């Protein structure tokens, strides 16, 4: 077999990779150690900034197979034809901890799916829970700060967590899920996924429908207690995903939708765009539309899983946003985070690059593509920045310069009648009923685990925080509050 030569980054062969150039065997190094400098300079830059949230993750490739045509609801190309397969990349993650945290932290799990469709990438960016702690994005930085390590001690501080929750009843539903038995999944394979946000579909008649995505684990739900989790290695979920795919035990999820006609939202008793609330299935039943399978591990964790960049703004014709305030903010925040963390041309990295032609007038910045990156065959040649015109409108459209397609315009987004622009207080919303209903569905064992987990953290908080949390729990279910109160006394 022919041996490959070791080279520098410019392709030049390297004669010695064990010894630096020095002035004699015992002398100092010299300034012509350009290969040494290249290695050290690259080593200093091997890591891109860690994600502020969702830092610790695992990813894999697979396919989405459509089992039910959705052409009556959407013009999205990959949702038209039964049995059509679309390649995907999925990244799972813990949310609050850094790269040094455990796969088995009590924490929500990110569940992000990148669909490589023929009309561009569609990113479904959600969690393993159908709701979130907030319905207004102005509180998101404050919330994350409250869940991160204490800035003085650099240690977890449950008192800070509960102080935030005591001041924000909108968090009660998600907090109940987090502190329940589902707060620590056994593995990424043994948890459901949710788009969480309300998205929209529109069809070729210009009709809009509000949509919620659900991905139900075919492996079933399996969870851990705090005690069980403490006995497992911090990288256990990563290893489980890699091992299961390597041995051909491919994880699967049944993909389902809730579909609400646009007009229903006006008079529905629940705000359908409030991320802290679910749509009861009795009102909008789950409709099965396909299956998601993961069947290929990454070849390079850093290049693929770590540099994978998901954004709710990655939408395709036929799929749009909604008045969900958290979603509206994430349309900006996610792409902005990727531009900061990875660079302006983050979408030219192979794992993020669309599998279809890409034609736009955005130019330059770091890593501007001139050819497929690293020879990756899946990266579109259309990223190439050529001598052609670099603005629109222009006089070169007939010669192939990119132009918009007016036939793909989305129908206008509805607004409330007589809506006034301003700060709209949401403290009068019902943030208790759904948390109480969830508590009522739990078995006695699940209820006991829930109240024990809450009391364990709440015991570190002040009397004022404890009292406010108990008042919230009592509004959800008196037995919920009593269970926690007994353990605090």
Question: What letters, b where the CB count within 10 A reaches 16 and e where it falls short, cover 322-338?
Answer: bbbbbbbbbeebbbebb
- Count CB neighbours of 474 within 10 A: 17
Q: Model confidence at 399, in pLDDT bands (50, 70, 90)?
A: confident
* Distance, CA of 452 to CA of 438 (rounded, Å): 16
* Assigned domain for 254 exists: yes
Counted domains in the chain = 2
Residue-number span of the structural domain to which 326 is assigned = 57-133+185-355
In a shared domain, residues 227 and 277: yes
> Tokens in use for 304?
């693929």
Domain boundary (355, 385, 418) is at 355
On whether the CB atoms of residues 289 and 66 are closer than 8 A, the answer is yes
Mean pLDDT of the region 317-321: 94
In a shared domain, residues 279 and 321: yes
- Count CB neighbours of 42 within 10 A: 10
User: Could you give the percent of the chain with pLDDT greater than 70?
Assistant: 96
pLDDT at site 382: 44
Q: Model confidence at 394, in pLDDT bands (50, 70, 90)?
A: confident
Is residue 167 annotated as part of the catalytic site, yes or no? Answer: no
pLDDT at position 5 over 90? no
* Assigned domain for 368 exists: no
Mean pLDDT of the region 23-28: 86
Helix (H) or strand (E) holding 466, with range, is helix 463-476
In a shared domain, residues 237 and 99: yes
pLDDT at position 470 over 60? yes
pLDDT at position 252 over 70? yes
On whether the CB atoms of residues 304 and 352 are closer than 8 A, the answer is no
Phi first, then psi, for residue 342 (nearest 5°) are -110, -40
* Assigned domain for 15 exists: no
54, 168, 192, 383: the active-site residue: 54
User: Could you give the percent of the chain with pLDDT greater than 90?
Assistant: 73
Q: What is the pLDDT of residues 296-318, one digit of tens each?
A: 999 999 999 999 999 999 999 99
Mean pLDDT of the region 190-207: 97
CATH number of the domain bearing residue 480: 1.20.1370.60
* Assigned domain for 27 exists: no
121, 127, 128, 453: the active-site residue: 127
On whether the CB atoms of residues 269 and 429 are closer than 8 A, the answer is no
In a shared domain, residues 208 and 251: yes
Q: Which residue has the higher pLDDT, 434 or 47?
A: 434
* Assigned domain for 124 exists: yes
Q: Model confidence at 386, in pLDDT bands (50, 70, 90)?
A: low
Is residue 376 annotated as part of the catalytic site, yes or no? Answer: no
* Distance, CA of 74 to CA of 57 (rounded, Å): 32
Q: What is the pLDDT of residues 144-153, one digit of tens each?
A: 999 999 999 9
Q: Model confidence at 369, in pLDDT bands (50, 70, 90)?
A: low
């Amino acid at each position: 077999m022919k041996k490959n030569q070791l080279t520098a980054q410019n392709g030049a062969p390297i004669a010695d990779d064990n010894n630096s150039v020095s002035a004699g065997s015992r002398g100092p190094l010299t300034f012509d150690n350009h290969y040494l400098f290249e290695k050290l300079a690259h080593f200093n830059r091997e890591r891109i900034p860690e994600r502020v949230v969702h830092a610790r993750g695992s990813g894999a490739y697979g396919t989405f197979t459509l089992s039910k045509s959705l052409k009556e609801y959407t013009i999205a190309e990959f949702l038209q034809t039964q049995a059509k397969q679309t390649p995907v990349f999925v990244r799972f993650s813990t949310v609050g901890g850094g790269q040094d945290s455990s796969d088995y932290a009590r924490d929500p799990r990110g569940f992000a799916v990148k669909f490589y469709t023929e009309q561009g990438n569609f990113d479904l960016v959600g969690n393993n829970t159908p709701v979130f702690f907030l319905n207004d994005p102005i509180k998101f930085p404050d919330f994350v700060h409250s869940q991160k390590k204490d800035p003085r001690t650099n240690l977890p501080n449950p008192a800070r967590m509960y102080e935030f929750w005591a001041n924000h009843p909108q968090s009660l539903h998600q907090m109940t899920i987090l502190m329940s038995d589902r707060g620590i999944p056994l593995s990424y394979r043994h948890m459901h996924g949710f788009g969480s946000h309300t998205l929209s579909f529109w069809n070729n008649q210009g009709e809009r429908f509000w949509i919620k995505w659900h991905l139900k684990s075919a492996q079933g739900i399996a969870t851990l207690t705090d005690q069980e989790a403490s006995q497992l290695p911090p990288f256990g979920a990563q290893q489980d995903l890699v091992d299961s795919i390597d041995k051909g035990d491919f994880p699967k999820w049944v993909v389902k939708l809730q579909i609400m006609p646009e007009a229903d939202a006006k008079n529905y008793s629940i705000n359908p765009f409030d991320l802290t609330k679910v749509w009861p299935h009795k009102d909008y039943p789950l409709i099965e539309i396909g299956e998601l399978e993961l069947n290929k591990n990454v070849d390079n964790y850093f290049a693929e899983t770590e540099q994978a960049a998901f954004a709710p703004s990655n939408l395709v014709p036929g799929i749009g946003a909604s008045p969900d305030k958290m979603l509206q903010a994430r349309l900006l925040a996610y792409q902005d985070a990727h531009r900061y963390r990875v660079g302006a041309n983050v979408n030219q990295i192979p794992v993020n690059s669309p599998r279809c032609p890409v034609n736009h007038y955005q130019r330059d910045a770091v890593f501007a593509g001139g050819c497929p990156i690293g020879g990756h065959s899946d990266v579109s040649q259309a990223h190439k920045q050529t001598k052609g015109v670099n603005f629109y409108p222009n006089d070169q459209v007939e010669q192939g310069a990119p132009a918009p397609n007016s036939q793909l315009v989305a129908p206008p987004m509805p607004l409330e009648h007589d809506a006034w622009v301003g700060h709209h207080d949401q403290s009068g919303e019902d943030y208790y009923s759904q948390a109480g209903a969830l508590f009522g569905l739990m078995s006695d064992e699940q209820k006991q685990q829930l109240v024990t987990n809450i009391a364990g953290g709440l015991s570190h908080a002040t009397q004022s925080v404890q009292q406010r949390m108990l008042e919230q729990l009592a509004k959800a279910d008196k037995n919920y509050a009593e269970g926690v109160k007994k353990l605090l006394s």
